[in-house]
Structure 1
Amino acid sequence: MFVAKLLDPFQLKHLTLRNRIVSTSHAPNYVEDGHPRDRYRLYHEEKAKGGVAMTMIGGSTNIAPDSPSVFGQLYAGDDSIIPWFRKLTDGVHGHGAAVMCQITHMGRRTAWDDGHWLPVLGPSGVRERAHRAFPKVMEQEDIDRVIGDFSAAARRCQEGGFDGIELLSHSHLLGQFLSPLTNQRDDSYGGTLENRMRLTLQVLDAVRAEVGPDFLLSMRITGDELTSGGLSAADCAAAARMLEDSGHVDLLNILAGAPYDDLGLAEWVRPMGLPAAPHLTVAGRIREAVSLPILHAGGIADIATASHAVSGGYVDLVGMTRAQMADPHLVAKLARGEEERIRPCVGLGYCVDRVNQGKPAVCGHNAATGREQVLPHVIRASGTRKKVVIVGGGPGGLEAARVSALRGHDVVLFEASDRLGGQLVLAAKGTTRRQVWGVADWLISEVSALGVDLRLNTYAEAEDVLAEAPDLVVIATGGWPGPLAIPGGELAHSSWEVLSGEVRVSGKVLLFDEIGDHPAAVTADALAEDGRGVELVSPDRTLLHDLGPTTSAAALRGLAAKGTGFTCLHELHSLAREENRIRARLRHVLTGEISERLVDHVVVEHGLVPMDDLYHCLKPLSHNLGQLDHNALIHGEAPFKNLQADGQFHLARIGDAVAGRNVHAAILDAMRLCVRV
């Protein structure tokens, strides 16, 4: 019954949406010269193919040169974008979905030293920690110009074929005027709520005058800043009523929080380790305050929560944006009664963090997302059945098995241990990253449903592989922690030994993190959870250096709450046994100064050495000597070379069996290797 409600059509003004599930505006950083070209278009078309009711593109699309892109946004400040808009909207409409574009002026939430190096704008000279700029206090002439920029961008969106636009208020310029945290003006744009709403209402007047009465207008607004001195729930409800009374707004998209620093961003765009869908009640309060339709997105990653949001009366439309990055065919699978086949969003946070690091978004465990030009989301059988042998049951090996089975091949997977999942067994330890097991859980379910021959407790040797008479052998054996090459290095334990329970540590623990990624954070979390006194030491200038703002903020807050100590810019110099303890000598990486710690145990995370013995045994017997055509891989073509005529099979290794990387790299290796076999 609840799912049926989620799949019910919804009337939004003159537009009939085919269900209640929306992909909300975001910036995946697939932009080219400020335009949504083929990569951007195909990404959104895939969601339309997958059944979404409406996809909202162009997260934070900029409208003016003094609102430069800082995380790969579109630019609707001139007419050159209109043809690209038309191509995208035609593509999305062709698959039965509605499409809107979000436009904004970012105000202080951008950088002055990018784009055209213009001063950023703000209602007052209040700096934002996240983007770090001190804004110019806007003059009336700036205000008038920005109003015109909004209406011109709205006209371009209309000419581009969109069903409507969304004006972004939350944390951007319009919201900065609204929030008392950022608006300290004493003129007609400051002070009372009515004054602080003045710019928003003037923009709405100008936009509606430009696009006419039938073009949909959505507002993405704050429902509660949840911050001392910020917008209260009552303020936001009053602001929503003012928007309704304007007669210009057709839809309200409700957010909560104040994403003005890394932790604020993490609370808004939630990684795993934080409660899911925490702001449904905030959206529900706005729904009670107005009669406008309500959309809400925020940590809603599964069908049960989405169904509860709609059926429980909190919202009319539910945003499942990251869930559709994990599986853009989520709606179609749900409609077919295949909910268990939906690839889940587990909150890896890789998509959001990459964008905030200036990189294109990818889903941590769906390699095809953002690569629709070369990789398919729906894998078809090849028509020629082959024998594929995979060694290693981690995420890379499981993905290779899944893809090969979908291609119609006879697949055998050897796994040395008594369970599948590989390093994800360790990655799911502790509390903050426990949901990562969902990646393995889905892959295991899929390969089981597809009839892959799973052989656990089998340490495969060359003769085991050869006995299967394979056409393709995929080595996905992963890596192993190497020795610590410092005096006394044998006294340290690896993070693997600790997380696996192979060794037990107690008392005071020094955890040295050479890598700056999730493994050390998970190890520290597991140690601190069990009551150890942990000091996390890094040679980098920041802790968890390779992580983005949301996942690092969530991890570090959890560790700080458990009393973990933090030390940066130090490396391990030497270890020495002293009675029943260990004297660890640390070297400052900038000054060379030596300091000491007396601890009970030292644990080290310093990467992996590939477990590639089997690969090298099989290499001389293969057609391709284990080599792959990189250009073919990149362009989605069969990557196998024939380097010796008397070879018996094609051979490849993937993931950490090549070099230590991450889950996404292993899954990408597997998919683009096997999808053309």
Structure 2
Amino acid sequence: MSKDPLLQPYQLKHLTLRNRIIMTSHEPAYPQDGMPKERYRAYHVERAKGGVAMTMTAGSAAVSKDSPPVFNNLLVYKDEVVPWMKDMTDAIHEQGAAVMIQLTHLGRRTRWDKGYWLPVVSPSHKREAAHRAFPKKMEDWDVERIIKDYADAAERMKAGGMDGIELQAYGHLMDQFWSPLTNDLDGPYGGSMDNRLQFTFDVLREVRKRVGPDFIVGMRYTADEDMEGGLTKEDGLTISQRLKDCGMIDFLNVIRGHIDTDAALTDVIPIQGMSNSPHLDFAGDIRAATNFPTFHAAKIPDVATARHAIASGKVDMVGMTRAHITDPHIVRKIIENREDDIRPCVGANYCLDRIYQGGSAYCIHNAATGRELDMPHRLAPTQTRKKVVIIGTGPAGLEAARVAGERGHDVVVFEAADRPGGQIRLTAQSERRKEMISIIEWRMNQCVQHDVTFRFNTWAEADTVQAENPDVVIVATGGLPDTEVLSRGNDLVVSSWDIISGDVKPGSNVLVFDDAGDHAGLQAADHIAQTGAKVEIMTPDRSFAPEVMAMNLVPYMRSMQKLDVTFTVTYRLEAVEKDGNQLVAHVGSDYGGVSKQRKVDQVVINHGTIPLDDLYFDLKPLSSNHGEVSHDQLITGVPQSVVRNSDGSFQLFRIGDAVSARNTHAAIYDALRLIKDI
């Protein structure tokens, strides 16, 4: 038996959990038709294979028709969900893990123009800022039917083989009853705290009638809204004790904060550049006060912090949810004394931001997550060892090297710089985004383990590559900033990279024209503003930085709004000309009829990259496939077999920004799905 606190079993009522690490409820937005079909099942089964004690599905499965998901959630108000649940729970149980599901009614935290276009309901008419719907104030018959909906859904989940359910309170309908900020009802469900809690206890009583005493029921809730007029920590302690004393709850899953705005949500679920485990001590206070099974998750990305959470007795089960999105085999690697091999969560929050923007959850640097049906988390050894030459050590090149090396190929990597990183190293210049460098460091460590050869400070040319007698050549040379976007004055501007890298000193009155909408524009603007300069960010888009997305935008706004940065949307920089020691920026609009000028001393352009592809085109006529990729073979996952030149001695491919300006995830996905079949 291991003495590691994380590997100790835990008895939750009748259920024995094999260790202390769980994935808390989350919705990766993989359902089909509201059902947990093959893709959804494969995602959770992979985490069960990896050793997690329990995976909690469905960040908020909808119990009612007037609780339409704002993204792709499970619809547990449908009877047809039961057999799909049974298939999933059976598969997870076969791997030794427990499985639960989170049920909710969203209340006002959704929109009326989703699903069946029914009115949003809440205990008041007050709108939630994040989802913007003005709710109907609930009537008695709304309360009655929603209580029944909860019980019906719980009964379906028991029939589907779930070990238990978790009721979601914070920010959702239950919490809207609890909080004095969102409950304008009269008794019996409004007014005093007893009345505001009554809806929850009515739900619990009806649920227990349906599922019986041996089915586990927990509550995920905020024990401190941390906002003026909301629930206080003292209120939270009272609520926690009452949940324990009611005899209908088996565990508490505690958070702190509120989620009705992007900024507030980001404090509850912190991203990179924010403190790790910011609410762990608070959860420990609840655990100490109640002496009741307590779970908690909030940016606990590393094993050391998780181990401390359990060893110190702050919580009984620790959630490492985004960490398992990054690496589904954390527990297996702990057991095998391979903690250094755990792929680190870098807090980029690409996963959650994609969900909140209506997409599926993908990890910024594990392209197999969410693609378990097609992409491997563990790579099969090659049957035919090949010489693979890779040019470039950004995320695309290093992922190609890692995958090829792990499969057993003979891999040589050329890099013109003295160290790896590509654009990631530039990104990590920002203190707030320094965690991104782990994407590079982890891959370098993996490459070293698999005997990949690196040749730094080496500018690869066609002769250099051919001298290696390669079977396969991967060009991952990335791109260079594209600033040739103006009708005149392109020679008078600098790039966002120039600013972030420190190659160009910031001006004192700066216009940042961001036509890419990614992190680089905001990073440059923030860096300039920190020097005390006057900064305006301009974009032709309806909103600025659309590629950064909601939660990642929060730290930038907190920084730059304090520095009085100006944000200008729907205007396009057309030209720049010199006027003495100043620059005149000519501004128009895609909507027409606008001609403005700005006088500044520096113009910064952020317009993505142009591929650095000279080497690729030098090698193209020498290759057997002339660089061609069969999209059909790439998508179906079979080796590339295109032959255009029978005299060619090697296959040639390019990946990442050497093809076109995209993002880190795209670069890594390019590499994984190509190299896994070589």
Give the whole-Å Cα distance in 2 for the aligned partners of 1:20 and 1:533: 51
Give the whole-Å Cα distance in 2 for the aligned partners of 1:437 and 1:565: 30
Q: Which residue of 2 aligns with 1:38?
A: 38
Q: Which residue of 1 aligns with 2:554?
A: 553
Give the whole-Å Cα distance in 2 for the aligned partners of 1:443 and 1:561: 37
Give the whole-Å Cα distance in 1 for the aligned partners of 2:169 and 2:2: 32
The Cα of 1:243 is off from its aligned counterpart by: 1.0
One-letter amino acid of the structure 1 residue matched with residue 266 of structure 2: A
CA contact (8 A) 1:433 1:522 kept: no
Structure 2: give runs of 5+ residues left out of the alignment.
Answer: none
Q: Which residue of 1 aligns with 2:143?
A: 143
Q: Which residue of 2 aligns with 1:669?
A: 670
Give the whole-Å Cα distance in 1 for the aligned partners of 2:288 and 2:512: 50
Point out the more displaced range, 642-651 or 460-469: 642-651
The Cα of 1:579 is off from its aligned counterpart by: 1.8
Does residue 379 of structure 2 align to residue 379 of structure 1? yes
Q: Which residue of 2 aligns with 1:485?
A: 486
Q: Which residue of 2 aligns with 1:309?
A: 309
The Cα of 1:645 is off from its aligned counterpart by: 2.3
CA deviation string 1:432-481 (max 9, x = no partner): 22221121121122212221110011110011111111111101001112
1:369-448 to 2 correspondence within 5 Å? 369-448=369-448
1:150-189 to 2 correspondence within 5 Å? 150-189=150-189
CA deviation string 1:73-122 (max 9, x = no partner): 10110210111101100111111110001111111111100111011110
**Alpha-carbon RMSD:** 1.4
Q: Which residue of 1 aligns with 2:331?
A: 331
CA contact (8 A) 2:26 2:57 kept: yes
The Cα of 1:591 is off from its aligned counterpart by: 4.4
Give the whole-Å Cα distance in 2 for the aligned partners of 1:501 and 1:165: 52
The Cα of 1:618 is off from its aligned counterpart by: 1.2
| Partner SS state of residue 176, structure 2 | helix
Give the whole-Å Cα distance in 2 for the aligned partners of 1:286 and 1:640: 60
Does residue 612 of structure 2 align to residue 611 of structure 1? yes
One-letter amino acid of the structure 1 residue matched with residue 15 of structure 2: L
When residues 525 and 2 of structure 1 are mapped into structure 2, their CA distance, relative to the original with a 3 A threshold, is farther
| Partner SS state of residue 309, structure 1 | helix
Point out the more displaced range, 417-426 or 400-409: 417-426
Give the whole-Å Cα distance in 1 for the aligned partners of 2:618 and 2:593: 44
Give the whole-Å Cα distance in 1 for the aligned partners of 2:53 and 2:654: 40
Q: Which residue of 2 aligns with 1:122?
A: 122
Point out the more displaced range, 206-215 or 498-507: 498-507
CA deviation string 1:47-94 (max 9, x = no partner): 111110100001110011111111111011021011110110011111
The Cα of 1:269 is off from its aligned counterpart by: 2.0
Point out the more displaced range, 565-574 or 45-54: 565-574
Give the whole-Å Cα distance in 2 for the aligned partners of 1:390 and 1:480: 19
How many residue pairs are counted as aligned between the two chains?
677
CA contact (8 A) 2:486 2:576 kept: no
| Partner SS state of residue 360, structure 1 | coil
Point out the more displaced range, 100-109 or 477-486: 477-486
The Cα of 1:2 is off from its aligned counterpart by: 11
Q: Which residue of 1 aligns with 2:344?
A: 344
Point out the more displaced range, 590-599 or 303-312: 590-599
Q: Which residue of 2 aligns with 1:96?
A: 96
The Cα of 1:309 is off from its aligned counterpart by: 1.6
CA contact (8 A) 2:112 2:120 kept: yes
| Partner SS state of residue 80, structure 2 | helix
Give the whole-Å Cα distance in 2 for the aligned partners of 1:400 and 1:150: 48
One-letter amino acid of the structure 2 residue matched with residue 403 of structure 1: V
When residues 172 and 634 of structure 1 are mapped into structure 2, their CA distance, relative to the original with a 3 A threshold, is same
Does residue 648 of structure 2 align to residue 647 of structure 1? yes
| Partner SS state of residue 59, structure 2 | strand
Give the whole-Å Cα distance in 1 for the aligned partners of 2:236 and 2:502: 50
Q: Which residue of 2 aligns with 1:64?
A: 64
Give the whole-Å Cα distance in 2 for the aligned partners of 1:592 and 1:426: 38
One-letter amino acid of the structure 2 residue matched with residue 356 of structure 1: Y
Give the whole-Å Cα distance in 2 for the aligned partners of 1:184 and 1:165: 29
CA contact (8 A) 1:2 1:307 kept: no
Point out the more displaced range, 367-376 or 579-588: 579-588
CA contact (8 A) 1:481 1:608 kept: yes
Q: Which residue of 2 aligns with 1:518?
A: 519
Give the whole-Å Cα distance in 2 for the aligned partners of 1:415 and 1:3: 44
CA contact (8 A) 1:269 1:550 kept: no
Q: Which residue of 2 aligns with 1:51?
A: 51
Give the whole-Å Cα distance in 1 for the aligned partners of 2:642 and 2:428: 38
| Partner SS state of residue 523, structure 2 | helix
TM-score by length of 2: 0.98
CA deviation string 1:481-507 (max 9, x = no partner): 232332112100011222222222332
Q: Which residue of 2 aligns with 1:540?
A: 541
| Partner SS state of residue 112, structure 2 | coil
Does residue 250 of structure 2 align to residue 258 of structure 1? no
The Cα of 1:274 is off from its aligned counterpart by: 1.8
One-letter amino acid of the structure 1 residue matched with residue 93 of structure 2: H
When residues 249 and 554 of structure 1 are mapped into structure 2, their CA distance, relative to the original with a 3 A threshold, is same
| Partner SS state of residue 354, structure 1 | helix
Give the whole-Å Cα distance in 2 for the aligned partners of 1:528 and 1:18: 51
The Cα of 1:160 is off from its aligned counterpart by: 0.5
| Partner SS state of residue 388, structure 2 | strand
When residues 232 and 3 of structure 1 are mapped into structure 2, their CA distance, relative to the original with a 3 A threshold, is farther
Give the whole-Å Cα distance in 2 for the aligned partners of 1:403 and 1:644: 27
The Cα of 1:176 is off from its aligned counterpart by: 0.7
Give the whole-Å Cα distance in 2 for the aligned partners of 1:551 and 1:638: 37
The Cα of 1:314 is off from its aligned counterpart by: 1.6
When residues 3 and 589 of structure 1 are mapped into structure 2, their CA distance, relative to the original with a 3 A threshold, is farther
The Cα of 1:575 is off from its aligned counterpart by: 1.1
Give the whole-Å Cα distance in 2 for the aligned partners of 1:641 and 1:3: 54
CA contact (8 A) 1:189 1:196 kept: yes
When residues 49 and 60 of structure 1 are mapped into structure 2, their CA distance, relative to the original with a 3 A threshold, is same
CA contact (8 A) 1:640 1:650 kept: no
Does residue 447 of structure 2 align to residue 452 of structure 1? no
CA contact (8 A) 2:165 2:216 kept: yes
Give the whole-Å Cα distance in 2 for the aligned partners of 1:484 and 1:120: 46
Give the whole-Å Cα distance in 2 for the aligned partners of 1:350 and 1:660: 17
Give the whole-Å Cα distance in 2 for the aligned partners of 1:32 and 1:364: 23
When residues 571 and 179 of structure 1 are mapped into structure 2, their CA distance, relative to the original with a 3 A threshold, is same
CA contact (8 A) 2:11 2:17 kept: yes
CA contact (8 A) 1:244 1:292 kept: yes
The Cα of 1:312 is off from its aligned counterpart by: 2.1
The Cα of 1:632 is off from its aligned counterpart by: 2.2
Point out the more displaced range, 551-560 or 166-175: 551-560
| Partner SS state of residue 4, structure 2 | helix
% identity of equivalent residues: 48
Q: Which residue of 1 aligns with 2:221?
A: 221
CA contact (8 A) 2:486 2:574 kept: no
Give the whole-Å Cα distance in 2 for the aligned partners of 1:256 and 1:648: 61
Give the whole-Å Cα distance in 1 for the aligned partners of 2:181 and 2:637: 49
The Cα of 1:282 is off from its aligned counterpart by: 2.0
Give the whole-Å Cα distance in 2 for the aligned partners of 1:143 and 1:484: 58
| Partner SS state of residue 433, structure 1 | helix
Point out the more displaced range, 635-644 or 97-106: 635-644
Q: Which residue of 1 aligns with 2:573?
A: 572
